[in-house]
Structure 1
Amino acid sequence: MADEFDVIVIGAGPVGENVVDRAVRGGLTAAIVEERLAGGECSYWACVPSKALLRPIDLAGEVARVPGLSLGPIDVAAVLARRDEAVSNYDDAGQVRWLESVPAELVRGRGRLDGPKRVRVTTQDGGERVLTARQAVVVATGSTAVVPPVPGLAEAAPWVSHDVTAAKSVPGRLAVIGGGVVACEMAQAMHGLGARQTTLLVRGDSLLGRVEPFAGEMLAESFTEVGIDVRTSIDVLRVERPEPGGPVTLHLSEGPPLEADELLVATGRRPATRDLGLDTIGLSDKGPIEVDDSMRVTALDEGWLYAVGDVNGRVLLTHMGKYQARICGDVIAARARGDELPSMRDLAGGYGSPQVVFTDPQICAVGRTEEMARADGFRVRVVDYDMGSVTGAYLLGDNYRGRARAVVDEDRKVLLGVTFVGPGAAELLHAATIAVTAEVPLERLWHAVPSFPTVSEVWLRLLEAYGL
């Protein structure tokens, strides 16, 4: 059975959904192929459930800082039930209705490239369906968790992000390998929900190695205060789990073996390019699929193949993948009509990418760190400010601790990057994103007066510290 569409998208996560939405808006027909749930990893096993699990921990910390308020024990069963509600109880009927309304055709099954502009789908009933694209095929398959080649680790059946966000119960003792966003967020979530012994095993010398160093240091201090054991500069040498589902033992480069009831591996992700049929068009399935700024695959001269989101390795963030998808869908439609292409920003470095780590304290950043800016050859001045000194922060509760940093391009007098660390700091980030991406001159930014008494007054304090 052969079906023809203008555009075929492999992967119905948020990124793939945005591609078909924009392509159809541009007058094209579209099919989208998905072997699991429409809505993808973010909707069911990543962004949405992880934040549902973290919200009670965040709120408990906020209440604890306000005199006169008290909070009883967290109802873990209620939290897990709300997590299930947030992911629609792993039912994608709502997403399917949305795709149908676009309209786009959802094809359930495993999609693989099968030569130029062809996608062969192994359907859920074991049959096959061949789809042909008139204009473009878009790969939006995301990324998969990496399990390092530590002896015994894979055999121990550890949790990865997919498992911990869908957990039906909280382990009493949790070991976490990794020091990035998933490791930190899920360590705090599980610890706050009742994991009495939570141990973070970090190969590097700090948490969150891609943000300003002070952010990881402040988070490590917070973790230690609540009883999370953070061990840096340590390697896991081998792992043993004699009984499936039983205790797991980790042999470490320092100290005695560590025993835990469950083990989470959060050491990064790789683009999901394997078994996609890339070999049928002469491409490798190893590593990310390289694209230009229109998301078109650079290694294919014919120009009909695109790759968006995690699979192209540019910026592994859902919101940036959706941004790429909107560009991609618009570009495909414009090329099909012979129109001038929409304007595009250079996404290669991802320096306009905002990111939030939803721990307590929250960590959020956009643009370059000081180290990145200096490495890129900018003449830089760094301005720091204690967010706890802002009146609005004091009013949020006792012992509010936070820090803000602005990285300034001294030649152009614009912001290259901004980082905030503190309770509730995520809500400050979009203003920083606008300032960085729009390259708002500092003297103009000074006239954007923050309301008093809010934490956003930190913007005024940063500019005053700079000398305006």
Structure 2
Amino acid sequence: MTDLTYDVIVLGAGPVGENVADRVVQGGLTAAVVERELVGGECSYWACMPTKALLRSAAALRAARRLPGAREAVTGDLDAAAVLARRDAFASHWTDDGQVAWLESAGIALHRGQGRIAGDRVVEVTGADGVTTVLTARHAVVIATGTGALLPDIAGLREAAPWTSREAAAATGVPARLAVIGGGVVATEMATAYASLGSAVTVLARDGVLPQAEPFAGELVTAALRESGVTVRVGAEAASVDRADDGTVRLALTDGDRIEVDEVLVTIGRTPNTRDIGLDTVGLEPGAWLAVDDTLRVLDGGGWLYAAGDVNRRALLTHQGKYQARAVGDVIVARAAGAVVEDGRWGRHVATADERAVPQVVFTDPEVASVGLTAAAAEAAGLRTRVVDHDLAAVAGSALHAEGYRGHARMVVDEDRRVIVGFTVAGPDVAELLHAATVAIVGEVPLDRLWHAVPAFPTVSEVWLRLLEAYGR
């Protein structure tokens, strides 16, 4: 058994864990990360990067077909094998050599194996060979173990070996028939991707399509999915699932209908990867989400335990996890130097954007980009608001961008402060519009000042001017 000491120990070497370690090393401390799978985590191999690679080729083809002159040059259909090969490249062929090399260059130690908290600032790492290494942290232990797919209690589902987001992102072939249980972000993105690759896709959206977004976003995405050949069954729910000897998956629905497919993808939510990391040794519940304050310190965690990224449930998005990583890294460095860090006083050293300024893009057709509160969420929060809508197709830049452009934009204004608290836009290629809205919301830019942020003509960004005109002076 080997004993080693570092200033900071990070459980999990995904994007969040890597950024925590990098931040504290840049602040003059030593750091080690513990990883049981691939360095680079879910985003690099089974989520953000491979899934967007699956979606991008079809999006480019759709864009070409929507432009006279370009559509005539399109002489074939999507090459599924080439798409999967490009996906493989973006997932680094599921090897982490490049990520490990980066850790070494950044001066971050790597310990492979299952890490478990074994006491006050102590982590035991059990490697694949069964050898245990004991790590001790001088200042902090940070949990950045992320989440895994949540499987519902549907009769026969687990025995049927369903796909989760991991299998969908890393599939080596395209199923002829695919059922998707769920109607959220992963469900709609993967339905879009596999339909474009040639699958006959059925979406069972019990709670609707993109139920957490503005209603118009779900309506536009539903219409586009159906136009692409996807069967979208809103309100449908699986009662049981079984896989036949020939591999066929049979789903019985609660309404009595039955569906036969080649694969079933389950996308109903996430569960924290905290079941086997030793939380019980410090009085916390194994398998539970970790509640934190705005400095990302775990409540009732002894003052030395932190949690960043999906595992604290504040915002289950890679970019928000990396934002938290930067904040917690700076907090740990400051506290190690003896500073007293108080919530609300330390600026970038606290994570406050997770409450009302979370940007997200759903890479469906059309794309959905949003930040801040929906109209319903703002009303529920007790704000006195005004909702302003505009047809995105009526903007000159949209007509130039694609023939038959369809889209919609909405801003939610806090009338008492005359600032934007929510923005959602749905339409082809709208992802790049989002950061302007994020800056406006985070910066609490008054509407009177936004009139002086003049959008270039003719671009889709001109929707900002149209929204302000609709709001009025």
Q: Please tell me the TM-score bracket, short chain as reference.
A: over 0.9
Give 1:370's aligned residue: 375
1:62-211 counterparts in 2 under 5 A? Answer: 62-70=63-71, 71=74, 72-195=76-199, 197-204=200-207, 206-211=208-213
**Structure 2 CA distance, aligned partners of 1:57 and 1:281?**
49
TM score, norm. by length of structure 2: 0.96
How much does 1:234 deviate? 1.5
Give 1:251's aligned residue: 252
1:130-163 deviation per Cα after TM superposition (whole angstroms, max 9, x unaligned): 1111100000000000010100000000000010
Unaligned ranges ≥5, structure 1: none
SS in 2 for 1:48: helix
Give 1:318's aligned residue: 318
**Structure 1 CA distance, aligned partners of 2:312 and 2:130?**
29
Are the aligned partners of 2:295 and 2:350 in contact in 1 as well (CA < 8 Å)?
no
1:176-201 deviation per Cα after TM superposition (whole angstroms, max 9, x unaligned): 00001000000110110110x10000
How much does 1:345 deviate? 5.2
Are the aligned partners of 2:296 and 2:328 in contact in 1 as well (CA < 8 Å)?
yes
Counterpart among 411, 429, 438 of residue 433 in structure 1 = 438
**Structure 1 CA distance, aligned partners of 2:149 and 2:3?**
34
**Structure 2 CA distance, aligned partners of 1:328 and 1:414?**
29
**Structure 1 CA distance, aligned partners of 2:318 and 2:356?**
15
Give 1:347's aligned residue: 352
Give 1:212's aligned residue: 214
Give 1:456's aligned residue: 461
How much does 1:242 deviate? 2.5
Amino acid at match of 1:322: K
Give 2:295's aligned residue: 294
Are the aligned partners of 1:295 and 1:328 in contact in 2 as well (CA < 8 Å)?
yes
How much does 1:116 deviate? 1.1
SS in 2 for 1:12: coil
How much does 1:397 deviate? 1.5
How much does 1:255 deviate? 4.8
How much does 1:102 deviate? 1.4
Q: Determine what percentage of the aligned residue pairs are the same residue.
A: 56
Are the aligned partners of 2:327 and 2:350 in contact in 1 as well (CA < 8 Å)?
no
Amino acid at match of 2:419: V
Give 2:244's aligned residue: 242
Give 2:49's aligned residue: 48
1:342-361 deviation per Cα after TM superposition (whole angstroms, max 9, x unaligned): 42455385311100000110
**Structure 2 CA distance, aligned partners of 1:377 and 1:193?**
45
Amino acid at match of 1:121: V
1:346-425 counterparts in 2 under 5 A? Answer: 347=352, 350-425=355-430
1:14-33 counterparts in 2 under 5 A? Answer: 14-33=15-34
TM score, norm. by length of structure 1: 0.97
Unaligned ranges ≥5, structure 2: none
Are the aligned partners of 1:61 and 1:360 in contact in 2 as well (CA < 8 Å)?
no
Are the aligned partners of 1:224 and 1:230 in contact in 2 as well (CA < 8 Å)?
yes
Give 2:338's aligned residue: 338
**Structure 2 CA distance, aligned partners of 1:459 and 1:242?**
54
1:384-407 deviation per Cα after TM superposition (whole angstroms, max 9, x unaligned): 000000010000121100000000
- Worse-matched range after superposition: 94-103 or 382-391: 94-103
Are the aligned partners of 1:314 and 1:347 in contact in 2 as well (CA < 8 Å)?
no
Amino acid at match of 1:24: V
SS in 2 for 1:89: helix
Are the aligned partners of 1:13 and 1:42 in contact in 2 as well (CA < 8 Å)?
yes
SS in 1 for 2:113: strand
Are the aligned partners of 1:314 and 1:348 in contact in 2 as well (CA < 8 Å)?
no
Give 1:223's aligned residue: 225
How much does 1:285 deviate? 1.5
**Structure 1 CA distance, aligned partners of 2:283 and 2:351?**
27
**Structure 2 CA distance, aligned partners of 1:454 and 1:255?**
49
How much does 1:409 deviate? 0.6
1:275 pairs with 2:276: yes
Aligned length: 464
Amino acid at match of 2:62: G
How much does 1:339 deviate? 2.8
1:51-106 deviation per Cα after TM superposition (whole angstroms, max 9, x unaligned): 00000121122112101223321111111111111111111111111111111101
Are the aligned partners of 2:320 and 2:354 in contact in 1 as well (CA < 8 Å)?
no
SS in 1 for 2:335: helix
Give 1:10's aligned residue: 11
SS in 2 for 1:263: strand
**Structure 2 CA distance, aligned partners of 1:58 and 1:365?**
19
SS in 1 for 2:103: helix
**Structure 1 CA distance, aligned partners of 2:271 and 2:95?**
26
